[in-house]
Structure 1
Amino acid sequence: MSARDQAVLKTVAAAPAPAADEARAILKRLGVPDSAFATSGRPATSPISGAVITHVRETSPDEAKAAIGRAHEAFKAWRKVPAPKRGEFVRLIGEELRAAKDDLGRLVTLEAGKVTSEGLGEVQEMIDICDFAVGLSRQLYGLTIATERADHRMMETWHPLGVCGVISAFNFPVAVWSWNAALAFVCGDSVVWKPSEKTLLTALGVQAIVERAAKRFGGVPEGLSEVLLGGREVGEVLVEDERVPILSATGSTAMGRQVGPKLASRFARAILELGGNNAAIVSPSADLDLALRGIAFAAMGTAGQRCTTLRRLFVHESVYDKLVPSLVKVYGSVRIGDPRTEGTLVGPLIDKSAFEGMERALDESRAAGGKVHGGGRYTEGACADGYYAKPALVEMPKQTGPVLRETFAPILYVMRYSDFDEVVEAHNAVGAGLSSSIFTTDLREAETFIASAGSDCGIANVNIGPSGAEIGGAFGGEKETGGGREAGSDAWKAYMRRATNTINYGKTLPLAQGVTFDVEA
């Protein structure tokens, strides 16, 4: 056998198995029942190759209403379970996630196209939020409040709210559910989840894991965790049903503009996690090596398909010619390919529509005077079957046109600046307000950036990129990002209702503010 033939055989042997075969094997190991699939159902595909993995049985609008009904009844029972015991259920979910981490992480890679470490990292986020929620189950604290009335006590208490609806996007197909569900479960709520129609299989895998935890826990009411599989019409049922008092929706700003008013019209709570046209500033004092690495991950990670992806970069004119050529070199050498292959850093875009959107944005950038480095479709080897894009770095003369909106693809717009106050103003001059960062060793710049007159985003970082938020801090943003907060800090309060209680343990009836109202008995 020739050396060339041996090399070919070695390459074939090392090639990952077909995504469809691998995904079906994982679904079986996770315990997803055959009843979830249907030969004429909605196709579930893999962006790795564009191949259909299987067909999923869709939820009809009537079935969605019935699921919400089950969840509503489950809530009535679950709210009576003591919060620490509810935390035990979430602890068991975390245990089951640990056991299934490799399989679920791989399924995320197969269905969403994330590289292996990001697929596993997303499941680790689920585990982390379960740990956070377990501790929280013993810390749902209210306050004792000073009262002006003698022999009275005033306090606030927190109670379960009801059915929590969750609408998630394809780019974080399982983590976003967990940010909401783990908190909702310990707060005493039931959860009805409508995942993206592009990532239905991961939702089925998660539901199977939850059902295993419920079996171990015992006594979990039927309907506590429901999954609705389908398109927009199923999501509309969840948005419009009066039995769903709170809904967390992750997606585009356009989606939020439709969902928000509908929830407001029936006085439901909205946790909106929408677009993010995130920026970073590189100051004259920045550690350029640190900045280079932080920018590369933030801009190219997940093929630019994170809501926290770095999309705008302002570089001070004194370091522009040092940093930007190095970035261009990194962009030209980053490894693109099958996300399951070791060493791959950039996997596929989710579908053809995403790639075409990127191409349109680059054409518009050129027309606006931008100098495009990279971009275009990557078709080497097996990548010809999916929509793999070469990350694009675009040097722009100013912030205009496509720079002012979010394109969900690996495009980084780079611009020079000279004045710090002016660049902060430019940083804030977009509709979204999710995440932001500055690379600097100047204490005054760093503190100003995170102060009230600095970044107007919900997340403001120093010497790290805008992506990669961890459990513990509340996640979310301002302006067109929607104002919602999930995961850490006191985000749990959104899933509960607050009651202010006043208890009179005396024999008189003093009124507040000195009001008198005496009547004869």
Structure 2
Amino acid sequence: MKKLANYVQGRWQEGTGEGTTLYDPVLGTPLVKVCAKGVDMAAAYDHARTQAGPALRRYTYAERAGLLAQVAQVLQASRDNYYDISLQNSGTVKNDTAVDVEGSIYTLGYYAKLGSRLVDGQVHLDGDSTSLAKDNAFASQHIEVPVRGVALLINAFNFPAWGLWEKAAPALLSGVPVVVKPATATAWLTHEMVKDVIEAGILPEGSISIVCGRPEGLLDALNGLDLVSFTGSAETAATLRQHPRIQHDGVRFNAETDSVNCALLDPEATGSDLLVREVVRELTIKSGQKCTAIRRIFVPEASYDAVAKGICEKLQGITVGDPRNESVRMGSLVSQTQKKAVTEGIELLAKHCDVLFDGRTQTSMQVDGNDHACVAPMLFGTRDPDNLALVHETEVFGPVATIMPYRDIEHAYELARRGMGSLVASVYGEDTDFLAQAAVRLAESHGRVHVINSAVAKVQTGHGNAMPQSNHGGPGRAGGGQELGGLRALAFYHRLAAVQAAPEVLARLAAQ
């Protein structure tokens, strides 16, 4: 069986161990192996810092943007291969793969376009200078300069393509080399994309490296001037934060973690059709395996039954199973491990909530045998959300959501906040004043607020889609991090410093 090689120190290296086998989650057939045993991470980071970093920084921002555009072209040329790998390794239908693959290419193109407009140079001024002495004889100017370390990108299993490039694009545009550590279960697609880019010879050697599997010393060999950008579970993020390199040495750490995102229907229930459609879409895209998926649905008490019925009726038309079957609309989870976790979560919710739609008995399943990772959508409900902490604290990372009634809008905001920090909340209605108020009230505990009325119904980008123009991240449980958001993404890969000097020195800085 093919073993995926790691690319570090400017060359491909196979791991020296037996490795871990990746499987087709629908058919159960073995695909490839990954192994990082024997990879010298200290040498890998050192090569990236000392060789790739200086080479990248010799380019201007606009020139690096041009490199990103070429990377996007390389990926575009191999789209069909990526779709095939995703079908086998992630078990996703074509439309779901598009969210991952096409989304990654779009994000690269977006940062290539943004970067082409940046003023050339190694220094970016942050605001105007501020006087520190009489007659402005001594002043302070904040500047941003690219980090001279390496960025370790640790990615989740659900978006092996987009998860890579949404981090790598702003890092490379900033002139910072990256080492990619994809989630093992779906590492094949990430590996194939990186391999195609390396073989194209677009980037300076070592600008992008990849390690698949579990290397020893992944964080041990970092230093205080390096960076880690992580996507995954809150539990894993908490473990990483305790590592000495992060906790004591100050390695900059950004985390985007799981959260119990919500959808809120306005008190007049005027956006119920919009909410129903979006909830069903979020339950089924990627089989609900999105950190941004809707997990909690808040509706006025008087609308609870009608909205629940509307969601259930649409879910009845969903066919789940083997994505090779053209009648299948929703594929599988990525692995048997994930199926076990989601199944256990469903059983837990079923003990405490009403089962309003039971995909186990109400969904058409088009797949052979039982050795598959397919799980049908489930809709739960509770009429007492105040006294059931479980629904605000537990995320089942699959096609699962819970609907809850609220008494008045203040009660709805309180319920939303009990998620203790989420990536996204969406609001549905037609009252402009209410929608604006809701956006402000929800922004305090959510990284993004997606506001929908009939005027934008056909053009809105989707509750769960993280667009590069908008912030991706959230407070509290969601990790406290920030990604994307246009040029804001570059801030993580730059250092902010205050320069205190004579006005003529600061003027020379500005001239650079």
> What is the TM-score normalised by the length of structure 1?
0.83
SS in 1 for 2:53: helix
Q: CA deviation at 1:502?
A: 4.3
Correspondence for 1:254 among 212, 229, 235: 235
Q: Is the 8 A contact 1:424 1:454 kept in 2?
A: no
Q: Is the 8 A contact 2:319 2:330 kept in 1?
A: yes
- Output the CA distance in 2 between the equivalents of 1:38 and 1:265: 32
Q: Is the 8 A contact 1:337 1:383 kept in 2?
A: no
Structure 2 partner of 1:70 = 47
- 1:71-220 equivalences under 5 Å are 71-73=48-50, 74-137=52-115, 138-139=117-118, 141-143=124-126, 145-148=128-131, 149-150=135-136, 154-161=140-147, 162-213=149-200, 215=201, 217=202, 220=203
Q: CA deviation at 1:431?
A: 3.1
Distance 1:107 1:477, change over 3 A: same
Q: Is the 8 A contact 1:37 1:54 kept in 2?
A: no
Q: CA deviation at 1:106?
A: 2.9
Structure 2 partner of 1:309 = 293
Q: CA deviation at 1:455?
A: 5.7
- Output the CA distance in 1 between the equivalents of 2:12 and 2:146: 34
Distance 1:81 1:506, change over 3 A: closer
Confirm or deny that 1:51 pairs with 2:29.
Answer: yes
1:43-72: per-residue Cα shift (whole Å, max 9, x none)? 12121222111223x122542332222211
Q: CA deviation at 1:248?
A: 0.4
SS in 2 for 1:209: helix
Decide which moves more: 430-439 or 187-196.
430-439
Letter in 2 for 1:270: F
Structure 2 partner of 1:412 = 401
- Output the CA distance in 1 between the equivalents of 2:16 and 2:37: 14
1:302-342: per-residue Cα shift (whole Å, max 9, x none)? 11110011111112123223221121122222111222433
Confirm or deny that 1:385 pairs with 2:371.
Answer: yes
Correspondence for 2:204 among 196, 208, 221: 221
Correspondence for 2:485 among 485, 488, 495: 488
SS in 2 for 1:237: coil
- Output the CA distance in 1 between the equivalents of 2:313 and 2:503: 74
Q: Structure 2: where are the runs of 5+ without partners?
A: 6-10, 453-459, 506-512
Q: CA deviation at 1:297?
A: 0.6
Structure 1 partner of 2:445 = 456
Q: CA deviation at 1:98?
A: 1.3
Letter in 1 for 2:84: R
Structure 1 partner of 2:499 = 501
Q: Is the 8 A contact 2:61 2:118 kept in 1?
A: no
Letter in 2 for 1:207: V
Q: Which has the larger radius of gyration?
A: 1
Q: CA deviation at 1:243?
A: 6.7
Q: CA deviation at 1:349?
A: 1.4
Letter in 2 for 1:210: V
Letter in 2 for 1:486: E
- Output the CA distance in 2 between the equivalents of 1:34 and 1:502: 46
Q: Is the 8 A contact 2:237 2:255 kept in 1?
A: yes
Distance 1:52 1:134, change over 3 A: same
- Output the CA distance in 2 between the equivalents of 1:39 and 1:164: 26
Q: CA deviation at 1:350?
A: 1.9
> What is the TM-score normalised by the length of structure 2?
0.85
Confirm or deny that 1:475 pairs with 2:475.
Answer: no
Confirm or deny that 1:427 pairs with 2:419.
Answer: no
Distance 1:178 1:381, change over 3 A: closer
Distance 1:89 1:441, change over 3 A: same
Correspondence for 2:428 among 418, 429, 439: 439
Q: CA deviation at 1:39?
A: 9.9
- Output the CA distance in 2 between the equivalents of 1:369 and 1:433: 22
SS in 2 for 1:59: coil
Letter in 2 for 1:351: S
Letter in 1 for 2:83: G
Q: Structure 1: where are the runs of 5+ without partners?
A: 1-19, 28-32, 508-521
Letter in 1 for 2:416: H
- Output the CA distance in 1 between the equivalents of 2:472 and 2:170: 13
Letter in 2 for 1:142: L
Distance 1:345 1:238, change over 3 A: farther
Decide which moves more: 456-465 or 366-375.
366-375
Structure 1 partner of 2:455 = none
Letter in 1 for 2:176: D
- Output the CA distance in 2 between the equivalents of 1:34 and 1:253: 32
1:401-452: per-residue Cα shift (whole Å, max 9, x none)? 5312111111111112221110110111023421111111122321121114
- Output the CA distance in 2 between the equivalents of 1:424 and 1:349: 32
- Output the CA distance in 2 between the equivalents of 1:298 and 1:65: 41
Letter in 2 for 1:472: Q
Distance 1:110 1:455, change over 3 A: farther
- 1:272-311 equivalences under 5 Å are 272-283=255-266, 284-311=268-295
The number of equivalent residue pairs is 472
RMSD: 2.8
SS in 2 for 1:409: coil
Q: Is the 8 A contact 1:152 1:505 kept in 2?
A: yes
Q: CA deviation at 1:168?
A: 0.3
SS in 2 for 1:223: coil
Report percent identity of matched pairs: 22
SS in 1 for 2:40: helix
Q: CA deviation at 1:125?
A: 1.8
- Output the CA distance in 2 between the equivalents of 1:230 and 1:398: 44
Q: Is the 8 A contact 2:15 2:39 kept in 1?
A: no
Q: CA deviation at 1:486?
A: 1.5
